[in-house]
Amino acid sequence: MTALPPTDRAFGTDPADPAPLPVAPRAMPKQVLVAPAGRRWQGLRAWLLRRLPGLRRAG
Amino acid sequence: MTPVPVPVPGDRSREARALALAMSLLAAAAAGMVFHVYGAADGLEPVDVLRSGLIFLSTWWLAWGAALALLGLTARRIARQPGTAPIRGRTVVLVPVCNEDAQVTFARIAAMDASLATTGEAARIDFAVLSDTRDEAMAAAERHWFARLLADRAGWGRMFYRRRARPAGRKAGNVEDFVASAGAAWDYAVILDADSLMEGATIVEMIRRMEADPGLGLLQTLPRTVRARSLFGRAMQFAAGFHSPVFARGLVALQGRTGPFWGHNAIVRLDAFAASCGLPELPGKPPFGGPILSHDYVEAALLARAGWAVRLDTDLHGSYEEAPENIVDHARRDRRWCQGNLQHIRLLAAPGLRGWSRFVFFQGIFAYVAPMFWLAFIAASIAALHGAEVPDYFPQDNWPIPVFPVDQTPKAVGLALGVFGLLVLPKLAIALQAVATGRARAFGGAGAALRATLAELALSTVIAPVLLAFQCRSVLQVVVGHDGGWPPNNRGDGGLTLAEAWAAGRWISGWGLAGIVATQALAPGLTPWLLPVTLPMLAAPLVIRATSRPARPGVFPVPEDAALPPVLALHDAQLAAWDAPEAAVA
C-alpha cells in the first residue's frame, strides 16, 4: 500500500477524526472456543481413539 | 492463507517440558512427603492430609518457577544475526489508547517515527492510533496532539487516527475493529500499549524475521521496564531487567512453536491473525462470561491451533514499557489480569487447542489460585495445632520412665528452608551468573548488582504478604461473580499520601491483626512462625506509602540509568519541544 490520497481515507468512525483509517476490510471470523457438550465429548473420544489403539479395537 | 510450517532447528521443547515438569513435581512430592511425616507424627488426621496436599500444590508452583530459572540459566543463548535485506511487506504500528495522556502518548509515536527514519525503511511502516477514549476533553486533546504529530512528522498518508463510536470488546475489540475495517491495507501489525516504546531498528528487525519465516504468525519481544521512579517501581524495574531475561530464556526453551503473546510489543502477521483470532464473547455474564479479558493468551493459542508459530525472541532488544509505580496501581492491574486468567477456566477444553496452550491457560489460572493454597495452609495449620492433643509421656501403666515424642522440628525447619530456597535461590543464581558473565556490569557492577538483588529479595519479602492479600481478594471477588471491569492504568509518579495508603490498605491491616490475635489464641506456638506474614499485613498502609515514595538515586540500578536508549531520548526531546511555549500556543 502506498500513501493513500485523502479521498480514499475519507471514511472514519467519527467525522472529526483528523486522519481516518483507509477502507480496507479484512474478514475476521469469530472462532469457536466453547463447544457444545456433545461436541466436547466427540472431541475427547476422537482424541482418545487417536492415542489409544486398544480402545479403537474395543470400540 | 495456510501457514507454512518451518521446523524449529534443534527443537528440544518436548524434552525441556518433561524435565521442568518432572523437576517441579519431584520437589512438590518431596515437600508433601516430608510434611506428611511431620504432620502424622502425633497421629494422622484428615487435616494433616489436607495440609500435605496444600504443601504439594504450593511447592509445585514455586518449583515450577525455579525450574524455569534453571532452564534459563543453562539454555543455549539464541542470538540471531540481524538481517540486512530490504523489507517487502507493509507494516502498521498500532497504538490502542483509552483515556491516556495524549501529549505523552503521541510523543512516543513521534519518537518511534524518528527512530524508524534512521533505518531507511520508514516508508513501508505506518502508524495508527486506535482510540477508545470516552472522555470528551481527553478526546479533544487527542485530536489536538495528533494534529501536532502529523505536522511535526509530516505524517499525512502514513499516520492514522480513529476513535470508535462504540468501544465494544475493550482492547481486543479495538484491534479487531481495526483489522475488520482496515487490516487488508497492511501485511503486519506491531501491536503496542499506550506506554510502549520501540527502537526503529527493532521494529525493522521484527519485520525481517516475519518475512524470513512464512510460518511465523506472531513474534513477541521481552519489553524492558523503564522510567520507574518510586521504590516499588524501581524494584520491579530492576527485577524485570535483571531476572526476567533468564526466566524468559527458560520459557523459550519450553515454547517450541507455541510461544507466548503478552498483548503488546509484538508483531503479528495480519492475515493469520484475522483468520484465526476473532474472539467470540463467552456465553453468560462477566466475570466468567462476556468479552475475553486476557485476550493475548487466547490469541496465541488460536494462532497455534491454526498451525502458525508463535515465538518469543529474547535477543530482540530496544523494546520498552512502563509499569505501575505503587502497590495499589499494581493491584488494580492485577485484579484485571486475575479475572482474565480465571476466565480461562472456560477455555481449558476449547476444541482443537494444542496441549501446551491448555497448559499455559492452566499456569495462568494457577498463578492466582496458588496464594489461596498458602492461605488455606496457614488456616489449616492453626486449626490442626488448636486441636492437637497434649503428648502422653506415660503411655504405659506402671512404667516409671517417660516416653518423649520424636522431635519433628528438624523436618519442619528443613521444609521451611526448602520452600524459602525455591523462592530465593533462583534469583541468587541469576545474580551469580550475571557476575560471572559480566552482565552485572550494566547493572552498576558486581557489588551493586548483588546488593540490589538482596535488597529486592528483602523488599519482596515485605511486600509479598500485602500482594497476597490483594490477590486473594481478587480471586474471591471473581469467584463470587464480581466484575472488576477494565479500570484505566494510572501513569505518573505514583506517589501516595498516607491517607491514600490507609484507604487502600486498612482492610489488610485488619486481617493482619485478626491473624495475630487468632493465632495467639488458638495456636500460640505458630505466632512467631507467622510474623513474617502477619506483620507486613498489619503495616500494609505504611508499606504501601513507603514503597510509593521516590527512590534514592542509584537504588536498583539498571542499564538505562547510565545510557538512555535512543528512542527514550527522542521521546524526551519531543516532549520538551511540545512543552515549549510556542507549542502550547499552537
Half-sphere exposure of B115 (CA within 13 A, CB side): 26
Q: What is the pLDDT of residue A7?
A: 36
Q: Say what the pLDDT of residue B80 is.
A: 82
Q: What is the pLDDT of residues B56-88, one digit of tens each?
A: 999 999 999 999 999 999 987 777 887 788 899
Which amino acid is located at B415 in the chain? L
Query: Cβ B157–A21 below 8 Å, yes or no?
Result: no
Q: Mark yes or no for CB contact B270/A26 under 8 Å.
A: yes
Q: Which residues of A touch B282 (CB under 8 A)?
A: 33-34
In angstroms, the CA B422 to CA B405 distance is 30
Contact A33 B282 (CB under 8 A): yes
- Answer whether 0.80 is exceeded by the pTM: yes
B216 beta partners? B309
**Among A3, A4, A28, beta carbon nearest to B278:** A28
Mutation site, B163, B299, B347, B361, interface A, largest A CB count within 10 A: B163
**B5 band by pLDDT with thresholds 50, 70 and 90:** low
Q: How many residue pairs bridge chain A and chain B with CB atoms within 8 Å of each other?
A: 117
Q: What is the pLDDT of residues B541-585, one digit of tens each?
A: 999 999 999 999 889 999 999 999 999 999 999 999 998 865 554
Residue B320, beta-bridge partner list: B197, B224
Query: Which pLDDT value is given to residue B553?
Result: 87
Please compute the mean of the pLDDT values over residues B97-110 and round it to a whole number: 96
Most confident option among B167-176, B398-407, B509-518: B509-518
Which contacts of B456-460 are long-range, i.e. CB under 8 A and separated by 24 or more positions? B456/B235, B456/B238, B456/B239, B456/B427, B456/B556, B457/B424, B457/B427, B459/B231, B459/B235, B459/B547, B460/B235
Q: Residue A5 pLDDT > 50, yes or no? A: no
* Beta pairing partners, B91: B125, B188
Predicted pLDDT of residue B434: 97
Q: What's the complex ipTM?
A: 0.81
Class of residue A31 by CB neighbours under 10 A (exposed 0-12, middle 13-18, buried 19+)? buried
CA–CA gap between residue B69 and residue B72 (Å, rounded) = 5
Q: Which of A5, A18, A31 sits opposite B279 (nearest CB)?
A: A31
Model pLDDT for residues B135-187, shown as the tens digit of each residue: 999 999 999 999 999 999 999 999 999 999 888 888 999 999 999 999 999 99
- Give the closest residue to B409 by CA, choosing from B41, B140, B117: B41
Report residue B514's pLDDT band, with 50, 70 and 90 as the boundaries. very high
Binned at pLDDT 50, 70 and 90, residue B421 comes out as confident
Q: Which among A13, A27, A31 is the nearest to B165, CB-wise?
A: A13
Q: Which residues of B touch A50 (CB under 8 A)?
A: none
Q: Which of B102, B156, B143, B151 is nearest to A22 (CA)?
A: B156
